Amino acid sequence: MTSDLFDLTGKVAIVTGSSRGIGFAMAQALAEHGAKVVISSRKEDACTEAAKQICDAGGEAIGIPCNIVENDDLDNLVQKTKDAFGKVDILVCNAGISPFFGPATELPDDKFDLIMRANVRANIHLAKLVIPEMKERKDGVIIIISSVAVKKGNNTTAYSISKAAVDQLVRNLAVENSPDNIRVNAIAPGLIKTHFSRVLWENEEALNKRLSKVPMRRIGEPEDIAGVAVMLASKAGNWITGQTFFVDGGDTIDI
Ligand SMILES: NC(=O)c1ccc[n+]([C@@H]2O[C@H](COP(=O)([O-])OP(=O)(O)OC[C@H]3O[C@@H](n4cnc5c(N)ncnc54)[C@H](OP(=O)(O)O)[C@@H]3O)[C@@H](O)[C@H]2O)c1
């Protein structure tokens, strides 16, 4: 039977950085397919509001604030999720930061450390928290958000290195944990219209120049990433692990 390929009924999902943007679109889609969803970001009000939106649409969601650079917050996020829903089946490490644009030779050490802590170390910390119970159940899914930045030279050295590390992290976590039926994959979005990427799309001329090299000739919307997340989280993705999926309108193929 294939009609339940994308069904997530009974599953519990945490999505970091999900009060808006790509994280919210993925959380919404996971909830629409039956998952109980935990919305998380630094701001409690924003989490509560986003969770309410999902509940108002007939889904099940709660908000738990968490700044991914704080280990105590990450511990609290997983513990409160278990208190509310009993387990974590799906972990989506979506929150990421990029607070420095400029030449690699001008990258301050503290910015490098902060970016690696948020975009890499926090994901490892969360994986440590959820994998033991996933192993016991012999079932679990981890999705980490990477970026097309890993394929191009650019002016975000620390960010790009951190996302390349994400791609390697999913391979390592997959090798280590897939024997226990824990699937670990990355999604690498192209340019998506969100607050995070505003500087790359608000100038129409610069945007059009960039889009002229993107085969699908349009900027992505957060919803464009949601379908892949549902696929990877569900039975549809049952034999997929250790991969990075470029969801970018063709941005990373040469034209
Ligand atoms: N947009 C793109 O073009 C693009 C392309 C490739 C990859 N990505 C990746 O996609 C992911 C999501 O980005 P987005 O474009 O959806 O951004 P966004 O719309 O700005 O949303 C970012 C989300 O993360 C939260 N957040 C920010 N800093 C956080 C922190 N330290 N701890 C916890 N939550 C935090 C924000 O809420 P609060 O402010 O309340 O914390 C918000 O919910 C990131 O990993 C980014 O690298 C984006």
Which residues, 6 or more positions from 159, have their beta carbon under 8 angstroms from its beta carbon? Answer: 96, 97, 98, 100, 115, 119, 147, 149
The CA 89 to ligand 1 mean position distance, Å, reads 22
Buried b (16+ CB within 10 A) or exposed e, 114-143: bbbbbbbbbbebbbebbbebbeeeeebbbb
In testing the pocket of ligand 1, which one of 41, 69, 210 has its CB within 8 Å of the most ligand atoms?
41
The CA 20 to ligand 1 mean position distance, Å, reads 8
In testing the pocket of ligand 1, which one of 22, 221, 228 has its CB within 8 Å of the most ligand atoms?
22
Is the pLDDT confidence value at 255 over 70?
no
Q: What does DSSP say about strands 244-247 and 60-63: parallel, antiparallel, or unpaired?
A: unpaired
Residues 116, 69: contact at Cβ < 8 Å?
A: no
Nearest CA, atom 23, ligand 1: 17
The CA 196 to ligand 1 mean position distance, Å, reads 6
Query: Within a 10 A sphere around the Cβ of 30, how many other Cβ atoms?
Result: 29
pTM over 0.95: yes
Average pLDDT over residues 74-101: 98
% pLDDT > 70, the chain: 100
Q: Which CATH topology does 12-193+222-247 take?
A: Rossmann fold (3.40.50)
Query: So what's the pLDDT on residue 124?
Result: 98
On average, the pLDDT of the chain sits at 97
Domain ranges across the chain: 12-193+222-247
Q: How would you class 47 by CB atoms within 10 Å of its CB: exposed for 0-12, middle for 13-18, buried for 19 or more?
A: buried
Query: So what's the pLDDT on residue 254?
Result: 72
Residues 187, 247: contact at Cβ < 8 Å?
A: yes
CA 197 to chain centre: 15
- Closest atom of ligand 1 to CA, residue 65: 33
The CA 100 to ligand 1 mean position distance, Å, reads 15
Residues 131, 117: contact at Cβ < 8 Å?
A: no
| The one catalytic residue among 85, 100, 159, 246 | 159
Residues 200, 210: contact at Cβ < 8 Å?
A: yes
Q: List, for residues 126-185, the tens digit of each pLDDT value.
A: 999 999 999 999 999 999 999 999 999 999 999 999 999 999 999 999 999 999 999 999
The CA 180 to ligand 1 mean position distance, Å, reads 30
Is the pLDDT confidence value at 111 over 80?
yes
Average pLDDT over residues 188-206: 96
Q: List, for residues 18-66, the tens digit of each pLDDT value.
A: 999 999 999 999 999 999 999 999 999 999 999 999 999 999 999 999 9
Residues with CB under 6 A from ligand 1: 16-23, 41-43, 46, 66-69, 94-97, 118, 145, 147, 189, 191-192, 194-197
Say whether 159 is catalytic: yes
